[in-house]
Amino acid sequence: QVHVEESGGGLVQAGGSLRLSCTASGHAWNTYNRGWFRDAPGKEREFLAAIRWADGWTYYGDSVKGRFTISRDNVNDRIYLQMNNLKPDDTAVYFCAALRPEGWSPEFWGQGTQVTVSS
Protein backbone atom coordinates (compact mmCIF):
# COMPACT_ATOMS: atom_id res chain seq x y z
CA GLN A 1 0.00 0.00 0.00
CA VAL A 2 1.29 3.44 -1.01
CA HIS A 3 -0.07 6.59 0.58
CA VAL A 4 -0.22 9.58 -1.77
CA GLU A 5 -0.86 13.14 -0.64
CA GLU A 6 -1.06 16.32 -2.69
CA SER A 7 -1.29 19.95 -1.63
CA GLY A 8 -0.95 23.49 -2.93
CA GLY A 9 -4.34 24.18 -4.46
CA GLY A 10 -6.13 27.46 -4.04
CA LEU A 11 -7.81 30.41 -5.71
CA VAL A 12 -5.92 32.37 -8.37
CA GLN A 13 -6.80 34.89 -11.04
CA ALA A 14 -6.59 34.11 -14.73
CA GLY A 15 -3.02 34.46 -15.95
CA GLY A 16 -1.57 33.59 -12.57
CA SER A 17 0.55 30.66 -11.46
CA LEU A 18 0.28 27.92 -8.89
CA ARG A 19 2.53 25.04 -7.82
CA LEU A 20 1.16 21.75 -6.55
CA SER A 21 3.18 19.29 -4.48
CA CYS A 22 2.89 15.52 -4.06
CA THR A 23 4.51 13.08 -1.64
CA ALA A 24 4.32 9.30 -1.46
CA SER A 25 5.07 6.87 1.34
CA GLY A 26 4.52 3.26 2.29
CA HIS A 27 5.57 -0.09 0.93
CA ALA A 28 7.96 0.19 -2.02
CA TRP A 29 6.82 3.75 -2.69
CA ASN A 30 9.98 4.61 -4.60
CA THR A 31 9.38 1.84 -7.14
CA TYR A 32 6.31 3.68 -8.45
CA ASN A 33 6.24 6.42 -11.02
CA ARG A 34 3.95 9.38 -10.41
CA GLY A 35 1.46 11.42 -12.34
CA TRP A 36 -0.98 14.30 -12.20
CA PHE A 37 -4.64 14.16 -13.22
CA ARG A 38 -7.63 16.43 -12.83
CA ASP A 39 -11.42 16.23 -12.55
CA ALA A 40 -13.12 19.24 -14.09
CA PRO A 41 -16.87 19.78 -13.68
CA GLY A 42 -18.81 17.67 -16.16
CA LYS A 43 -15.71 15.99 -17.59
CA GLU A 44 -13.98 12.66 -17.20
CA ARG A 45 -10.69 12.44 -15.36
CA GLU A 46 -7.95 13.91 -17.53
CA PHE A 47 -4.29 12.91 -17.62
CA LEU A 48 -1.92 15.87 -17.34
CA ALA A 49 1.66 14.72 -16.78
CA ALA A 50 3.78 11.81 -15.57
CA ILE A 51 7.32 11.42 -14.30
CA ARG A 52 9.51 8.35 -13.99
CA TRP A 53 10.86 8.26 -10.45
CA ALA A 54 14.19 6.65 -11.26
CA ASP A 55 15.55 9.29 -13.63
CA GLY A 56 13.04 12.12 -13.93
CA TRP A 57 11.88 11.37 -17.49
CA THR A 58 8.61 13.21 -18.15
CA TYR A 59 5.60 12.90 -20.40
CA TYR A 60 2.74 15.37 -20.92
CA GLY A 61 -0.80 15.34 -22.11
CA ASP A 62 -1.44 17.48 -25.17
CA SER A 63 -3.82 19.82 -23.38
CA VAL A 64 -1.21 21.28 -21.00
CA LYS A 65 2.04 21.24 -22.96
CA GLY A 66 3.81 24.58 -22.70
CA ARG A 67 1.97 25.73 -19.57
CA PHE A 68 2.39 22.95 -16.98
CA THR A 69 5.67 21.39 -15.84
CA ILE A 70 6.15 18.26 -13.72
CA SER A 71 9.40 17.95 -11.78
CA ARG A 72 11.17 16.39 -8.80
CA ASP A 73 12.84 18.29 -5.96
CA ASN A 74 16.57 18.12 -5.33
CA VAL A 75 16.40 15.14 -2.97
CA ASN A 76 13.93 13.17 -5.10
CA ASP A 77 11.33 12.74 -2.38
CA ARG A 78 8.47 14.72 -3.89
CA ILE A 79 7.15 15.96 -7.20
CA TYR A 80 5.59 19.22 -8.29
CA LEU A 81 3.22 20.47 -10.91
CA GLN A 82 4.06 24.05 -11.87
CA MET A 83 1.05 25.62 -13.55
CA ASN A 84 1.49 28.89 -15.42
CA ASN A 85 -0.87 31.13 -17.36
CA LEU A 86 -3.87 29.59 -15.66
CA LYS A 87 -7.27 29.86 -17.29
CA PRO A 88 -10.78 29.52 -15.88
CA ASP A 89 -11.06 26.19 -17.74
CA ASP A 90 -8.25 24.88 -15.53
CA THR A 91 -10.62 24.94 -12.56
CA ALA A 92 -10.71 21.37 -11.28
CA VAL A 93 -9.78 19.02 -8.49
CA TYR A 94 -6.18 17.95 -9.10
CA PHE A 95 -4.97 14.49 -8.12
CA CYS A 96 -1.56 12.93 -7.74
CA ALA A 97 -1.24 9.20 -8.34
CA ALA A 98 1.33 6.47 -7.88
CA LEU A 99 1.73 4.72 -11.23
CA ARG A 100 2.72 1.11 -11.76
CA PRO A 101 6.36 0.77 -12.88
CA GLU A 102 5.26 -1.30 -15.86
CA GLY A 103 2.36 0.00 -17.87
CA TRP A 104 2.15 3.29 -15.94
CA SER A 105 -1.43 2.68 -14.86
CA PRO A 106 -2.53 4.54 -11.69
CA GLU A 107 -2.77 2.28 -8.65
CA PHE A 108 -2.94 4.65 -5.66
CA TRP A 109 -4.55 8.09 -5.54
CA GLY A 110 -4.36 11.11 -3.31
CA GLN A 111 -7.48 12.82 -2.01
CA GLY A 112 -7.25 15.76 -4.41
CA THR A 113 -6.64 19.47 -4.06
CA GLN A 114 -8.99 22.13 -5.42
CA VAL A 115 -7.73 24.68 -7.94
CA THR A 116 -10.08 27.53 -8.81
CA VAL A 117 -9.18 30.10 -11.46
CA SER A 118 -11.25 33.27 -11.56
CA SER A 119 -11.65 35.59 -14.53
Tens digit of pLDDT for each residue in 56-97? 999 999 988 899 999 998 676 799 999 999 999 999 999 999
Q: What is the mean pLDDT of the chain?
A: 94
Is it the case that residue 16 has pLDDT exceeding 90? Answer: yes
> Burial level of 75, CB count in 10 A (0-12/13-18/19+)?
exposed
102 vs 81, which has greater pLDDT?
A: 81
**CA 13/CA 66 separation, integer angstroms:** 19
Torsion angle, alpha carbons of 45, 49, 54, 55, to 10: 170
- Running DSSP on this structure, what letter comes out for residue 76? S
**How confident is the model over 12-26, as a mean pLDDT?**
96
Quote the pLDDT of residue 30: 84
The distance of Cα 42 from the centroid of its chain, to the nearest Å, equals: 20
